[in-house]
Amino acid sequence: MFRDPASVPEMSEVAAFIDSWLSEQLAENDAVVAVGVDPDERYRWFVRMAGDERDITAVWLTLRQRTLSFESYFAPAPEENQLLAYETLLRWNNKLSGARFSIGAEDAVFIEGEIGYHTVDGFELDRILGTIYEAVERWFKPLLRIGFASRFKD
């Protein structure tokens, strides 16, 4: 069964929930250091999270009539060992919860995904941010060591 696209009131209700949830995270979650709204695009938010392996990770959330999509820049395009780097990312995709690594502009690596707008709740938003946070903490430096190996030689 297909769902109808969200109505304007439904979009507003989901957007208000996201605003409220993000404000709570900023107040209560030490990893969340900033949240905001894109001034140029309606229903688009950013979340900045502090980590140990990478100082800051930014996540963009975009609400559309059928989905809430999310994306986060993960790493620049590998300069060396590209085949191994991309193979490794594909293998790591199996370990992500509802997200995937992808190749974006200039072959940079992103984490992205989407959920149905009707499933947006605190659990799903926490899963999205948690999945991205864990992926960065777990795999950012290992990917750099593969894709920029000559910079890590002793």
With CA atoms as reference, report the closest residue to 140 among 70, 54, 60. 54
Provide the mean pLDDT of the chain. 96
Ordered by start, the domain boundaries in the chain are 8-152
Inter-CA distances, 73 with 13, 112, 118, 154, Å: 28, 9, 26, 28
**Burial 74-93, CB ≥16 within 10 A → b, else e:** bbeebeebeeebbebbeebe
pLDDT at 3 over 90: no
Which pTM does this prediction carry?
0.94
Render pLDDT for 48-96 as a digit per residue (tens, 0 to 9): 999 999 999 999 999 999 999 999 999 999 999 999 999 999 999 999 9
Tokens of 26: 């900023």
Contact between 74 and 126 under an 8 Å Cβ cutoff? The reply is: no
Q: What is the band of 153 on the pLDDT scale with cuts at 50, 70, 90?
A: confident
With CA atoms as reference, report the closest residue to 120 among 42, 34, 36, 14. 14
Render pLDDT for 20-29 as a digit per residue (tens, 0 to 9): 999 999 999 9
Q: Say how many residues make up the chain.
A: 154
| 8-152 fold | Yope Regulator; Chain: A, (3.30.1460)
For residue 72, the one-letter residue type is S
Q: What is the band of 1 on the pLDDT scale with cuts at 50, 70, 90?
A: low
